[in-house]
Chain A
Amino acid sequence: MCTLAHVFEAAGLATVTISAIRQVAERMRPPRVLHGEFPLGRPLGKPNDPEFQHDVLRRALSLLECDSGPVLEDYPVEVVGEEEPLGCTVPPRFDPELAPAVDEARGLRKAYDRAVARRGISDVGKAIDADGVPAALDVLQNIVNGTPWKEAGIPGGHTTALANDIRAYYEEAALELAGAPNAGGRQAEAWFFERTEAGKLILDVRKALASQGAPQPVWFYMAPMHRN
């Protein structure tokens, strides 16, 4: 973001940048910055709160009245992310022949489909589509059970993309089930990694990949860096 601001400004465009990580903005010194101490991924602070979003915009655009810069101001209200798991049940065990995560993913399909129907779009699709989620979880379970990762047939061939798709499938279903228009910053993430079989499996796969000697980029980005 800060690099874009420097380049755009030099090209003759006036820029206002919302900053998410203050230390980065302090060191990169783009022309006009409003730092928002908001949950990461929410640069306007709060979803479904037009009044709050308008206030962030108003304060950011007011920096255009400054005569010189760089200028870095802080938005006066901090929004602390709620990071306890979303209050969403997981499907009961249905088919004991299946791996728990596979069974669970199948059980979430109707909720996922309702979410897509309501929103009209889904973030699932980097490596697999929704139909591919159960089979992908089966492959990850095989890696945890000892199948060498290069022989496991990782769908799409990219672990980060695959983890991204599985998590999006689950989070979109969970928000639909929980009916949570104001879910906190990491509540969906916490639900996925702490409450679901799929989330726990992804954390186990990271460990299995590392212990099998897979390069760090293969496993590291499958989950947020604070979830070891």
Chain B
Amino acid sequence: MAEQELGDAVIRRQIGGMPVPEFSETAWTAPPPLSEARVAVVTSAALHPRDGEGFTVNDASYRALDHDQRQLVLGHWSPNFDRSAFGIDYNVVYPLARLDELVEQGVIGSVASKHYSFAGNQPDDVATIRHDSAPACAAELKADGVDVVFLTPV
């Protein structure tokens, strides 16, 4: 590693070269007009309430988070990213205050009653997420009337 190379650059280069799951095609769903859309956040930061069930290593399950629950633990296991920013301002990972403001401004129709967190550290094939937990999460989002999912990575 070069002496002056930033940590983010090293990690982007190394993770960027790792194997990724392949999808033969990209599905496409046309959303309703944004001003009518119900929006949810799904993050891979492994957020969970302090007293809630934490994430284990390689945990492929997810947690539902009430919209009003803002005191959350960043449960992600990886040491490779900045963990301090979420503690400074949760919106930098989980922008619920910003979405609430977009509702007030009439930009989006509504914000979902529940949002969801997965753990970003996963086995390379992400098979369980692909075939089990993500479809189950999608069903919960649809049951809440969600039209648009905003995905934030950690």
Contact = CB atoms under 8 A, between A and B. Distances in A.
B141 A70 contact: no
A221 B80 CA distance: 8
A52 to B, nearest CB: 9
A80 B37 CA distance: 33
Which of the four size classes fits the interface of chain B?
Answer: 35 or more
Contacts of B152: 1, 18, 43-44
B27 to A, nearest CB: 4
Contact of A40 (B5, B17, B81, B129): B81
A47 B83 contact: no
A52 B48 CA distance: 26
A134 interface: no
Contacts of A45: 92
B134 A3 contact: yes
B79 A222 contact: yes
Contacts of A21: 12, 15-16
Interface of A: 1-24, 27-31, 39-48, 50, 53-54, 57-58, 60-61, 64, 68-70, 80-81, 83, 119-123, 125-126, 158, 160-161, 163-164, 167-168, 171-172, 175, 181-183, 185-189, 221-228
Interface of B: 1, 5-8, 10-12, 14-17, 20-23, 26-31, 34, 37, 42-44, 50, 54, 57, 71-75, 77-89, 91-93, 95, 97-99, 101-102, 107-108, 118, 120, 126, 129-130, 134-135, 137-139, 141-142, 146-154
Given A1-B152, A54-B101, A171-B84, 17 more contacts: A1-B44, A3-B21, A7-B129, A8-B42, A8-B134, A9-B27, A11-B139, A27-B20, A40-B8, A43-B92, A45-B92, A50-B91, A120-B71, A122-B50, A123-B87, A185-B82, A186-B7
27 contacts: A1-B151, A4-B129, A4-B149, A4-B151, A9-B29, A13-B138, A14-B30, A16-B148, A28-B21, A40-B11, A40-B80, A41-B82, A41-B84, A43-B152, A44-B92, A44-B152, A53-B95, A64-B31, A120-B71, A126-B77, A183-B84, A186-B7, A188-B82, A188-B83, A221-B77, A226-B5, A228-B1
